[in-house]
Structure 1
Amino acid sequence: MKRSLRVGSVAGIGIFLHWTFLLLVAAIFAYYYVQSQSLGAALSGMGLILGVFVCVILHELGHALTARRFGVPTRSITLYPIGGLARLERIPSEPMKEFWIAIGGPAVNVVIAFALALVLLVTGGTLAPVALEAPGSHALASLMWINAVLAVFNMLPAFPMDGGRVLRALLALRWDYAQATQTAANVGQGMAVLFGLIGIMTWNPVLLFIALFVYVGAQQESKQAMYRAFTEGTPVREAMVTRFATLTVDDTLDDAVDALLAGTDHDFPVLEAGTVVGLLRRKQLIQALSEHGRDTPVAEVADADCFTTAPSAPLDEVFQQMNARSCSTVPVVDGGQLVGLLTLENVGELIMVSSALETRSHSRVPRDQLSEAPLRERPDGAASSGAPPVP
């Protein structure tokens, strides 16, 4: 959140503005002023944009509060020029929970649109879509139609929109999670290609941007599903590193530099009597060297709020936490003592090995028996379904 400005919180969920959002507001103000040469019109246009993003916040709160009902916390909500992002701690494994969380946002936009329509009917305002051609004169009508468009757009069956998650949840009622995600991702990529072709034929840069946004989002979801498929049912101990360098609270930044240059480790647990009291990451070390003397104790600059995990913890859940917290390394603790490190690099290596073994096992099954293949053993000993691996 270093590049975002905290503007408040709702129900304990922090609301942030990314710095690029401020550029958007300034650009909208300049656009309306140049077009109308009127300060009032510029302020009116900027006000409409701010109103839209209030609706975006409410949309994301729809996701966040629905997720809370299912025991899934939300870390924060951040506004970007292209929309909002609610950072959930994890995606629930139950398909119907994901379904209700996904539709929670668009449902808010529908409620807002109906509420504004009711106000316009009572006050005699226009409900015609032509209001969008003069948003400064018909702010409520414009906001109503914008919410309607947001609801419809978000329900398109394509990642990363909510409709893609709804489709995945419905497919997951009958298929395994990875297969459901891959199918939903394929649908989304097909829509992205269609948007791109229409954008090229009409030379519409907005459609081209949406096409790229949807295509990349589908790829990311497919990748995340592959990670989840190969880590589900696997304990952390299967992927943790057991040979690594550590530092003590009495070590200095100079000692940390020696450890960094002497091996391939990038992050160093800081120990006191064998107990983890912090984690010194390479980025923190480099920054500390420019701000402190080399004789500064590492305990003063290490991250004391790093979370730890146990060797028996489910790898897929810890992996989701690592992504949610943007944490590349997690100390693994057993009985209060450090026994390993879990890194995103090692999780990736485990997935590559598992994928290669899956591919080899498939190559040994006759083509006409693939659909009837029984449950097989994964390298960790846990049974997995006979669905093909996600490419």
Structure 2
Amino acid sequence: MSYKIATIKGIPIYVHITFLLVFLLFAFIFAISGWPFGFRSVEPPIAGYILACLTALLFFVTLLIHELAHSLLAKSYGAKIQSITLFFFGGISAIENPENEKNMDPSKELNIALAGPLSNMIIGIVLLAFNYFAYGSIFGVPDVANWVTEGLTTFTANIPTMIFLLGSLNLLLGLFNILPIYPMDGGRVLRAWLAKRHSYEEATNTAVSIGKGFSVVLAIIGIFTNWWLAILALFLYISASEEGKMFKATTILEDIDVKDVMTTDVLTVDESMSLNDFINFVFQKKHPGYPVTKNGIVVGMVTVDDARHVNETERYAFTIKDIMKEIVSVHPDATALEAFNEMGAHAIGRLVVLDDEKMVGIISRTDLMTTIYLKDNFKNKSKTKTESETEY
């Protein structure tokens, strides 16, 4: 579950619910850690907690800058940026390649992948350099009590500690992100480098495999040193696996047209149908969603979820027209990948297929998942058969 908090340069910024959990965790760690990694010795304690929360907030602002660096550079290359989402352990920039490019040029992808870690390293160096030149040390001022006795406020006295924390965390973030663990930036750098020498598919598969290997190594190190590192490694391993599956899915779907997988025998419901009749209809036909028609023309879409929001005792007074949603459609010549992206963008499970405003079919997420499953399995069987024939 994500919530929109802002729009920057035309890019919607979202915060996932898991982000709030990790924000509180970071603030707590800063509050209980001693100098120079936290504010445990700050008096009164409430001031330490406020400083910890402010430091955590500013750190996540730098995470947003990291994602903006990726997104704005990609945008300058002609890519479309759907959104940026901050979530547990980082952020994601939803970047779509230009329509005329099947895959991003490896050199451009390399630059985009490096932009994020580079922004963190620059922030880190600038902040630590400021501490050094302003306070005589990258750690700031070690004796906070002296500053207080000289009449400075507790907040002002701890600004150097805040700057040190933000600077060092950004340097660590930049360095960690360039590890060759896909889908982190370092893994994308590796894929871009491999894509210059091999096919994009081979480069992605290799980057995913290497990323999994590094994740296992990190997990083993984490078990003996720091459990947080082990948990992060597990998260990265799962992410690499999911990215590999997603790439396989998009590779399959971009080579298939909607017209080849859509359902042409489409059941529809009239907008005048009562809600009670619609629920009975759903039980009979066993489909969760239907195009809505008026005089034979498609005017909307209705699903079981739409009906569920109406109180059972009031359903007799409603018709489908009262609860239906606007049509989200796709052309039969569009790729299955375009249909998949359209479903994701509108958070829906099916699209009406329109040709010159005439409905020619419907395509659902289930249709796409079945297509991916079948294509992938037949492809693997074909490979196995070819390898067996080669052995003989």
Match of 2:104 among 78, 81, 94: 94
The structure 2 residue matched to 1:105, chosen from 116, 139, 147, is 116
Aligned to 2:301: 279
- Where do residues 144-293 of structure 1 align in structure 2 (5 Å cutoff)? 144-202=167-225, 204-289=226-311, 293=315
Would the alpha carbon gap of residues 85 and 362 (structure 1) be closer, same or farther in structure 2, given more than 3 Å must change?
A: closer
TM-score, reference length from structure 2: 0.82
In the other structure, the counterpart of 2:149 is none
* Larger mean Cα displacement after TM superposition, 263-272 or 92-101: 92-101
Give 1:248 deviation, angstroms. 2.8
Distance in 2, matches of 1:75 and 1:295, equals 39
* TM-score relative to the length of structure 1: 0.82
CA distance in 2, matches of 1:81, 1:366: 42
Q: Is the 8 A contact 1:125 1:141 kept in 2?
A: no
The answer to whether the 8 Å contact 1:249/1:297 transfers is yes
Answer with 264-273 or 234-243: which moved more. 264-273
Return closer, same or farther for 1:366/1:164 CA change in 2, 3 Å cut-off: closer
Distance change >3 Å, CA 346–CA 94, structure 1 → 2: same
Correspondence for 1:333 among 348, 351, 354: 354
How many residues matched?
A: 364
Q: Identify the range of structure 1 (71-80 vs 360-369) with the bigger mean alpha-carbon deviation.
A: 360-369
1:222 Cα deviation from its structure 2 partner: 1.1
Distance 2:128 2:301 in 1: 54
Which amino acid in 1 is paired with 2:290?
F
Instruction: Give the alignment's Cα RMSD to 1 decimal.
Output: 3.0
Residues 330-369 of structure 1 aligned to structure 2 (within 5 Å): 330-365=351-386, 369=390
Aligned-partner Cα distance in 2 for 1:102–1:33: 33
Q: Mind listing any 5+ residue stretches in structure 2 that lack a counterpart?
A: 33-39, 143-156
Whole-Å separation in 2 of the counterparts to 1:130 and 1:367: 70
**Alpha-carbon offset, residue 152 of structure 1:** 1.4
Displacement of 1:324 in angstroms is: 4.5
For residues 31 and 110 of structure 2, the distance between their equivalents in structure 1, rounded to whole angstroms, comes to: 43
User: Are 1:68 and 2:75 an aligned pair?
Assistant: yes
Please tell me whether Structure 1 or Structure 2 has the larger radius of gyration of its CA atoms.
Answer: 2
Q: 1:368 to 1:99 in 2, by over 3 A?
A: farther
Could you tell me which of 162, 166, 171 is aligned with 1:143? 166
Whole-Å separation in 2 of the counterparts to 1:324 and 1:98: 23
The one-letter code matched in structure 2 to 1:218 is A
Q: 1:9 to 1:262 in 2, by over 3 A?
A: same
Is contact 2:140-2:160 (8 Å) kept? Answer: no
1:126–1:141 CA contact under 8 A, matched in 2? no
| Corresponding position of 1:314 | 335
